[in-house]
Each structure stands twice: as structure tokens, then as C-alpha cells.
Amino acid sequence: MSVLKNDLLLKALRGETVERPPVWMMRQAGRYLPDYIRLREQYDFFTRCQTPELATAITLQPVDQVGVDAAIIFSDILVIPQAMGMEVQMEEGKGPLLPKTIRTQADIDALISTGVEESLKYVCDAITMTQKELNGRVPLIGFAGAPWTILCYMVEGRGSKTWDKAKQFAYTEPALTQQLLDKITQITIGYLKAQVKAGADTVQVFDSWAGSLSPADFRKFAQPYLFRIAEALQPEVPVILFPKGSWYALKDISESAAAGVGIDWCISPRVARELTGNKITIQGNFDPAKLLAPIPEIKRSVKEMIDEFGPQRYIANLGHGITPNVPVDNARAFVDAVKEYSI
């Protein structure tokens, strides 16, 4: 593999001193980029994911056009339920739909738990191809959904504000829930290790719906599985955990095998630092909707955010994914503001 010319992200994750914080944006590949929207007219969502040439081209777009310090492989967290044998439809503008949901022991037994690495080989091929194209410009991030978030989609069958069906399953069938979470965890570890073997420099685990759980239920249904993944991957690459909304778990996370933790905008940088005691690199936490503010306001807020976190052991990012309505110039202003920050 080629030597990295820009290794700010990896340095920040290792806790090394950087000349400025690295910056990337969750969900940076896609939706708001005109070149992506054009590709969307030609190929359906999973064709884009499953064709390494397309996934590579989409992964590179924000590196070339917005100037981020890291690439994240274009794929989706729902390729795991798909590889486990579930039907996943991606309805344009509506989000994911899994018509046959998980409810019973028989449903769990019917899930495929072997050969998942082979069926997801297309992601690894895209990673290897992207690394070749990047040629060391910036590190490449691999990713997967966290077991709780994947369970949410498997049981609920679609996105939800409350995740009440997923939570009903967890609260009424705790043994089945644990079985399902175990199965997803085991597969996710194998999948992320395959991504590392294919060339991913670091991996992020997205627990997008962790915040639907109370602190006690997070500790039961989410945290143990996140930590198992971090422990399994940490000897190979730095691991970033993103349990959105779970600010109360920051102290425990800072003492886990994870190198980095993503936080959303509902916690202040100072409180996040206090809870983690500088034992872990923090990533975040710009409100994605603030990218719709006038550019001078974006730049001012970014500087304030970095001042609050401090520039070391820090990765500038959003507190959740970039939304489709963000003008490319505003995304670029966010990235530029971090690059212009002087220590």
C-alpha cells in the first residue's frame, strides 16, 4: 500500500500531535453532490453499492470536490441484513424497506450467518480499488452499522421516529434479542476485518439509533456489542464508535478499546471533554442543519467549535450525516474553516 501523504485522521486517532485537526463529514459521499445525483439517475442504489467502479467513483467525489481529509467507502449499513438473507429495498426519497421482518426464533434461525464475507466481497473490492485511486492522498474509512441499529431495521422493517416495534421486541423477547444481537455482532466483526484486509485504514461503527434507548437499556442492548466490535478490531486499526445520542456513555466509551467516539450536537464540547478526560479522540459535533446558515456564520461557528474542543485528540465532523439540501459551497466552507484553523 502507498504511504499516506495526509495522515491527520490517523494521527488524531492515535493521540499524536497534529498541526490542525482533520475534517470529514458523515454521509459525505452522496445525496448533496450533483455528480452523485446524476449517477443516481442511471443506476439503482444497490447497483451503485455493488459495482466497485461506481462505489469508488462516488467515494472519491467529496475528496476531489470538497477537500475532506478522509474518504469513507460508499456502501450502506443495510448490506449486512441483505447478506444475512433479508430483502432490503431502497425506495428513492423514502428510505429503506425490509418487507419480511424478524419476530421469532425461526426468523433468527433462518438468517444466514456464514459466508457473509464472500457475499460482501464487492465492498472489499471497492475498498481495494478506492485505495489504488486514492494513492495515499487521504486515509480510507470502512464502516458497518452497530448491532442495535441493525436490529432496529431488521425488526421494525423501516425507519422510525420511536422504534417502538424494535423496542417492544427487545423488552418482550430479551433472549431472542440477545441471540440476534450476538449473531449480528459476530458477522459484523468478520465483515469489518475483511474491510481492513482489503485496505481500510480505520473503521467506524454507526449506532444511529442508540439514542432511542434509555441509559440502562443502552448498557444492555447496545454498549456490550459495540465494545466487542472495538476489542476485536482494535489490534488491527483504530476504531471509531458513533452511538448517536448516548452522551451518558462517554466515560465508559473513553475506557473501552475504541480510539475515537463520535458525538452529536446535543452535548457541548466542554462536557464531552470532561466526561472522556482526554482518554479518547472526539469526533463531531457540528449541527448538520447549521450548514444551511450563511457561509460567514458557518466559518465563525466552526472556529468556535474547535476552540471549545481544543485542536488535539479531535476530528472535526458533523453531529450526524449531511443532509441532501446542503449547497456544495457550504459543505466546502465547513471543510475550509477547519483547514484555515491555526493552532
Catalytic residues, which ones? 27, 31, 40, 76, 153
Beta bridge partners of 316: 23, 284
Tell me the per-residue interface mask from 320 to 339 with ligand CP3, x by CB under 6 A, - otherwise. Answer: xx------------------
By CB under 6 A, is residue 156 in contact with ligand CP3?
A: no
How far is it, in rounded angstroms, from Cα 261 to Cα 276? 10
Considering only 54, 90, 196, 295, the residue that binds ligand CP3 (CB under 6 A) is 90
Dihedral angle, C-alpha 319, 321, 326, 330, nearest 10 °: 50
What length does the chain have? Answer: 343
Q: Output 321-325 pairs: Cβ under 8 A, ≥24 positions apart.
A: 321/25, 321/26, 321/27, 321/288, 322/25, 322/26, 322/27, 322/28, 322/31, 322/32, 322/288, 322/291, 323/31, 323/32, 323/288, 323/289, 323/291, 324/31, 324/32, 325/32, 325/292
Q: Which of 9, 26, 60, 146 is the binder for ligand CP3 (CB under 6 A)?
A: 26
Determine which residue in the list 28, 50, 212, 246 makes contact with ligand CP3, applying CB under 6 A: 28
Phi, psi of 196 (to 5 degrees): -65, -45
Each residue 269-308 as x (binds ligand CP3 by CB under 6 A) or -, in order, gives ----------------------------------------
Q: For the window 207-226, what string marks contact with ligand CP3 as x by the rule CB under 6 A?
A: -x------------------
Q: How far is the CB of 323 from ligand CP3 (least distance, A)?
A: 9
Given candidates 12, 13, 72, 229, which one binds ligand CP3 under the rule CB under 6 A?
A: 72
Distance CA 239, CA 235 (A): 10
Q: Is the peptide bond before 285 cis (omega within 30 degrees of 0)?
A: yes
The one segment of 69-77, 97-105, 119-127, 280-288 that binds ligand CP3 by CB under 6 A: 69-77
Among 85, 95, 99, 296, binds ligand CP3 (CB under 6 A): 95
> Within 159-188, which residues bind ligand CP3 (CB under 6 A)?
159
78 binds ligand CP3 (CB under 6 A): yes
Grid coordinates in use for 145? 452499522
Residue numbers at the binding site for ligand CP3 (CB under 6 A): 26-31, 40, 45, 72, 74-78, 90, 95-96, 143, 159, 206, 208, 320-321
